[in-house]
């Protein structure tokens, strides 16, 4: 983590600009608990059009300024620049620094790796979509993409080394119909249009026999998979785990419509890395395929992340509970408060919220009572929206 240790610096004036870096505000931690807590400052900066925070800690012998973890931006050179400019701007006497920008390698271009915002705002295709969940070594995904050039494949994986490997293969094999996303498959389907997917492959998912709630398959997952499947589309599970197979068969047979097909030791034209492993051990391989015959309504995701106004920020800080509030499928946790210096009714609130599978940490920024999400609105998943609505209720409840 880039940081600079220093002493004897001058006061930072905000707003101000030095060498292209904007120093917009300083926010001081506001402690509402009984326990004394060390004072910490968040400095709002903007460099090369990106907004982020620097954390400033004032220890007895020295001070330390570093990147704030939640608002980290890439490339890291942007943050290092801002840290170096901060110490220069305040004439600090630097004792230690790891912010030299010389050895930075350029980020490799990852043309086929997209982030989730791409699916929220840009993704369009007139081709059939097929999705593979947890592609691992990618053997099956690459084979399918090469043999079905008119299909747009989406590969979902959460293991970064597997993603890196498959991206290399995509380049070597010159494949143009795969998009890779590093995102939890249990939350991804929300961003896909109804009736647009021909096949969803879930091959050898982690069985999670001791923690079934972590499995990819659940009632919610099947419901969303069915919504995105076209008429005659299929959701295909292939597994060596009898327990996972039984679990999925039970979930699928609770559906009100659809056809279910079961196979044991079915031969596929391509064998994945895990399949090879289980075959060597003479394990049975089970397939359960759901054929969907419904046409589902298009969903219009609610993207309203607006807030009202806070009339008295300090009173709000004093009245809000800092304990996590947990519901069935989402939560929110209001964690820390900061007051922006020399500005009326202004501050930062550090929050974590959304789904248990992929919690999101962010700051809310309040300027003259008006609340918004610092660095932009969250991804509009249903759990983020539900958590937002609860936080909105709590924050704009007039305590004055």
Ligand X SMILES: C[S@@+](CC[C@H](N)C(=O)[O-])C[C@H]1O[C@@H](n2cnc3c(N)ncnc32)[C@H](O)[C@@H]1O
Q: Give me the residues that bind ligand X (CB under 6 A), please.
A: 133-137, 156-159, 162, 184-186, 203-206, 216, 272-275
C-beta closer to ligand X: residue 135 or 353: 135
CB of 262 to ligand X, least distance (A): 19
Dihedral of the alpha carbons of 383, 389, 391, 397, in degrees to the nearest 10: -170
CB of 396 to ligand X, least distance (A): 34
* Dihedral over Cα of 399, 397, 363, 45: its sign: negative
C-beta closer to ligand X: residue 277 or 303: 277
- d(CA 368, CA 344) in angstroms, rounded, equals 6
C-beta closer to ligand X: residue 136 or 233: 136
CB of 164 to ligand X, least distance (A): 12
CB of 233 to ligand X, least distance (A): 19
The answer to whether 101 touches 77, Cβ cutoff 8 Å, is yes
Task: Measure CA 91 to chain center.
Answer: 38
C-beta closer to ligand X: residue 157 or 224: 157
C-beta closer to ligand X: residue 202 or 391: 202
- d(CA 237, CA 310) in angstroms, rounded, equals 49
CB of 235 to ligand X, least distance (A): 15
The answer to whether 72 touches 52, Cβ cutoff 8 Å, is yes
CB of 141 to ligand X, least distance (A): 8
- d(CA 41, CA 54) in angstroms, rounded, equals 8
Of the candidates 41, 16, 12, the one whose C-alpha atom is nearest the C-alpha of residue 338 is 41
- List C-alpha distances in Å: 99 to 5, 37, 70, 120: 11, 28, 19, 35
- List C-alpha distances in Å: 127 to 121, 153, 178, 301: 18, 10, 12, 22
Query: Where does residue 103 rank: exposed (0-12), middle (13-18), buried (19+ CB within 10 A)?
Result: exposed
Helix (H) / strand (E) element for 370: namely strand 370-373
CA atoms within 13 A on the CB side of 323: 3
CB of 214 to ligand X, least distance (A): 8
C-beta closer to ligand X: residue 134 or 354: 134
C-beta closer to ligand X: residue 279 or 390: 279
C-beta closer to ligand X: residue 155 or 347: 155
CB of 224 to ligand X, least distance (A): 13
């Amino acid at each position: 983590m880039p940081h600079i240790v220093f002493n004897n610096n001058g006061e930072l004036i905000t707003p101000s600009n030095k060498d292209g870096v904007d120093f917009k505000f300083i926010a001081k931690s506001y402690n509402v608990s009984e326990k004394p807590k060390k004072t910490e400052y968040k400095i709002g900066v903007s460099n090369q059009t990106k907004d982020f925070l620097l954390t400033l800690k004032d220890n007895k012998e020295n001070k330390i300024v570093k990147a704030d973890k939640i608002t980290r931006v890439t490339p890291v050179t942007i943050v290092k620049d801002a840290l170096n400019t901060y110490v220069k701007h305040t004439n600090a006497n630097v004792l230690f620094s790891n912010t030299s920008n010389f050895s930075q390698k350029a980020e490799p271009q990852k043309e086929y790796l997209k982030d989730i915002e791409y699916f929220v705002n840009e993704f369009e295709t007139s081709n059939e979509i097929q999705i593979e969940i947890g592609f691992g070594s990618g053997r099956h995904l690459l084979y399918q993409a090469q043999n079905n050039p008119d299909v747009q494949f989406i590969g979902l994986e959460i293991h970064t080394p597997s993603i890196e490997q498959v991206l290399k293969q995509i380049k070597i094999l010159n494949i143009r119909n795969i998009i890779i996303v590093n995102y939890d498959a249990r939350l991804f389907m929300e961003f896909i249009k109804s009736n647009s997917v021909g096949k969803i492959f879930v091959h050898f998912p982690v069985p999670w026999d001791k923690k079934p709630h972590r499995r990819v398959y659940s009632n919610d997952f099947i419901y969303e998979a069915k919504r995105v499947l076209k008429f005659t589309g299929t959701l295909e599970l292939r597994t060596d785990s009898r327990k996972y197979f039984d679990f999925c068969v039970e979930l699928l047979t609770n559906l009100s419509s659809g056809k279910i097909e079961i196979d044991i030791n079915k031969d596929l034209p391509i064998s994945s890395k895990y399949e090879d492993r289980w075959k060597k051990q003479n394990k049975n391989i089970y397939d359960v395929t759901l054929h969907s015959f419904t046409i589902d309504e298009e969903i219009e995701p609610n993207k309203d992340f607006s807030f009202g106004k806070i009339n008295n920020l300090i009173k709000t800080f004093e009245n809000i509970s800092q304990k996590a509030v947990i519901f069935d499928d989402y939560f929110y946790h209001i964690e820390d408060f900061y007051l922006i210096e020399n500005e009326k009714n202004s501050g930062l609130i550090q929050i974590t919220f959304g789904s248990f599978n992929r919690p999101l940490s962010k700051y809310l920024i309040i300027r003259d009572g008006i609340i918004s999400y610092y660095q932009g609105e969250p991804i509009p998943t249903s759990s983020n929206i539900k958590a937002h609505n609860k936080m909105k209720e709590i924050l704009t409840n007039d305590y004055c």
